Structure 1
Amino acid sequence: MVSISDVARHAGVSPTTVSHTLSGKRKVSETVREKVRRAMAELDYVPTRAAQSLALGKTSVLAVVVPDIAIEYFAELAKGIESVAMERGYNMLLATTGFDSGRESRYLEMIASRAVDGIIYASGAVLGAKARAALNGRLPVILVDEEIEGIVDLPTIVSDNEAGGRIVAEHLLSLGHRSVLEIQGAPVHAPVTSVLRSTGFASAWEPAGGRVFTTSGDYSVESGPPAVDGFADAFAAGEITAVFAHNDLMALGAIEGLRAQGFGVPRDVSVVGFDDVSISRHSSPPLTTVRQDTHELGTLAARTLLHALETGEQLVPGRIAIPVELIVRASTGEVRR
């Protein structure tokens, strides 16, 4: 295989000059440029992606860090990023962390030291010191739907989680509910996102005198039944009439757990989720939830990062919040009198 060094020897110039000729970034005389072109033609040299990356000082690769691509939310996010990246001639390197901070740190260290142009981070694990250092390193980084404590100088693209929590509270209040079980995300999983949803919920719920019981899950369906198991007596006594789960999967698990205890949804207990994943509209009953435009989160993150890479402009720290929408289905109803 013909290399840049071969072309340089054939043209009687240095490999650096060949790279400058390929990239167009440095001024090269027309005489030298013609020597390089003739050598490339005579040797039948076609620049590889690696050679082009070396010449241009870029790799055309974006690293995307998510916890689990099997979760629909993150799959849609990755699709949104990929659609823009491919359209603009970039490839996507996908790293899945499994919500494991150690695994995430290893991935981020590797990515920061390898040939990628930028990072889109949407993992949600609690970051260790090494992972924080990688995100605060030389590469441009966009955070997606996750605000990280202690890292304030990175641009963040989020769903409006506070507004989402607030509209859930307003919906339940309008149906006569005044006591709710809130299934939050466990602290090791997207902690700031869950806090914002709770804050938004409380902003409407507390002024109305509502009571809140809290528990947590890991955003999986399997964590839903255990979350409601300890509150069977409160459901039976009518002390809790609604459940607000911080994602749809935990909400669907909560419905399963409530049914196992003999409670009807929404006859005895109303249930609300967050995300609007596809299964939520086909569940029994169809789930009332907050819709996030996950694909748009991905496309906006990719466009923002690529604009900075292609123009040389610095990324501007700050928070862009994408609106959310309450989708009312059959899992919520008026309180039984």
Structure 2
Amino acid sequence: MVRLKDVARDAGVSVTTVSHVVNGTRRVAPATLARVQRAIAELGYRPDSIARALKSNRSHTLGMIVTAANNPFFAEIIRGVEDRCFANGYSLVLCNTDDADAKQLTYLQTLRDKRVDGLIVMTAHSGADFLAALARQPLPTVLMDADPAGAHDIAVVNDDSRLGARLAIEHLLSRGLRDIALLTGPASHPRSRERLAGAREALGEAGIVLPGSKVVATNLLADGGYRAMQALLQTRSCPQALFAFNDLVAIGAMRAAREHGLSLPDDLSVVGYDDIELGRYFTPALTTVHQPVYELGDMAVTQLIERLEHRRPLQRTLQLAPRLVVRESVRRDRLAEPKHPSR
């Protein structure tokens, strides 16, 4: 096993100098730095990360708790988190919870046991016990897809979901579509509540009162959108258009509509939310609200690193602006009437 003193002897410097190079604790002259780095490479020296963490009380590791990493939306955010971690010399420990309260609590304790320096939490549903435990734990934390936090050393990074919903509804209205249904997420989901509020505002400004029968809650997955669309198709009046609160729901709904003989977008226009990669390759390509997902992940890590490396306080709330991406799933003419499926 190669030790610090072996590197020091090979480079012709003191053990203290090698320690400063390895830990970045003091500036070293360029020529000396080059000799130490060459010795490290030639001898194959690797610092003992556990010992370093115990000595410095820093592991240079962040923990991330998410609902499911295989969801395209979460996957894109995780990529932004991972890239920013790597660029700053941090490792990432990722925990998938499937929104199970017990797993959330267990993983929170596991990450603390692993001595992570900070946390990123992005779950669709969090129980009261988990939220209370999160508020009590001492690590700097960034929440995503969440309500603004009141606890100390916790920040929230989100997109402006109310604005995004308004963009979706205003686009449908601009195409002459006024009979609009909403496929929402659970009422407990903060972003879903914001999108519902923004959609109602835009409809209200157009003089449209949205009946309860045209608002269907889903699990924010493709199968939820499929079942929600099936429920709408059982009513006497199929809507002209759908605003789905994420792209997976929109894709599930489009599948159900096709199975009932509807032509997209002539009979049914659809707008999604998130702008996942799959949506642009669907047929018709999905018109959607682009959420800057990669940037949200990048921003979450940047906040934590600024707090950890420079002792800058976390900003309580950070918000990025969404934008509409127009593709093919909303009809272009204003005169076509929707066709209702045969019973």
Structure 1 stretch displaced more, 144-153 or 128-137: 144-153
TM-score if structure 1 supplies the norm length?
A: 0.81
Q: Deviations over 1:3-26 (max 9, x none)?
A: 99xxxxxxxxxxxxxx99x9798x
Q: Deviations over 1:219-250 (max 9, x none)?
A: 2111112101122254x645x21111110011
CA spacing shift, 1:301–1:150, aligned 2, 3 Å: closer
Asked if 1:156 corresponds to 2:156, the answer is yes
Aligned to 1:105: 105
Aligned to 1:134: 134
CA spacing shift, 1:178–1:150, aligned 2, 3 Å: farther
Asked if 1:228 corresponds to 2:235, the answer is no
TM-score if structure 2 supplies the norm length?
A: 0.80
Q: What SS does the corresponding residue of 1:104 show, helix, strand or coil?
A: helix
Aligned to 2:75: 75
Could you tell me which runs of 5 or more consecutive residues in structure 1 were left unpaired when the two chains were aligned: 5-18, 26-43
Could you tell me which runs of 5 or more consecutive residues in structure 2 were left unpaired when the two chains were aligned: 5-18, 26-43, 338-343
The sequence identity of aligned pairs, in percent, is: 30
CA spacing shift, 1:66–1:171, aligned 2, 3 Å: same
Aligned to 2:192: 194
Aligned to 2:215: 214
- Preserved contact between residue 23 and residue 55 of structure 1 (Cα < 8 Å): no
TM-aligned CA deviation for residue 194 of structure 1:
0.3
Aligned to 2:309: 310
CA spacing shift, 1:306–1:153, aligned 2, 3 Å: closer
- Preserved contact between residue 142 and residue 157 of structure 1 (Cα < 8 Å): yes
TM-aligned CA deviation for residue 297 of structure 1:
0.5
TM-aligned CA deviation for residue 217 of structure 1:
1.3
Aligned to 1:94: 94
Aligned to 2:183: 183
Q: What SS does the corresponding residue of 2:273 show, helix, strand or coil?
A: coil
- Preserved contact between residue 104 and residue 131 of structure 1 (Cα < 8 Å): no
Q: Deviations over 1:272-298 (max 9, x none)?
A: 100111111111111110011111111
Asked if 1:284 corresponds to 2:283, the answer is yes
Q: Deviations over 1:164-200 (max 9, x none)?
A: 0011111111112222211111246xx1110001111
Aligned to 1:116: 116
Aligned to 2:40: none
- CA distance in 2 between partners of 1:202 and 1:152 (Å): 33
Question: How many residue pairs end up in the alignment?
Answer: 301
Aligned to 2:60: 60
**1:65 maps to amino acid:** I
TM-aligned CA deviation for residue 136 of structure 1:
3.6
Q: What SS does the corresponding residue of 2:76 show, helix, strand or coil?
A: helix
CA spacing shift, 1:51–1:91, aligned 2, 3 Å: same
**2:193 maps to amino acid:** V
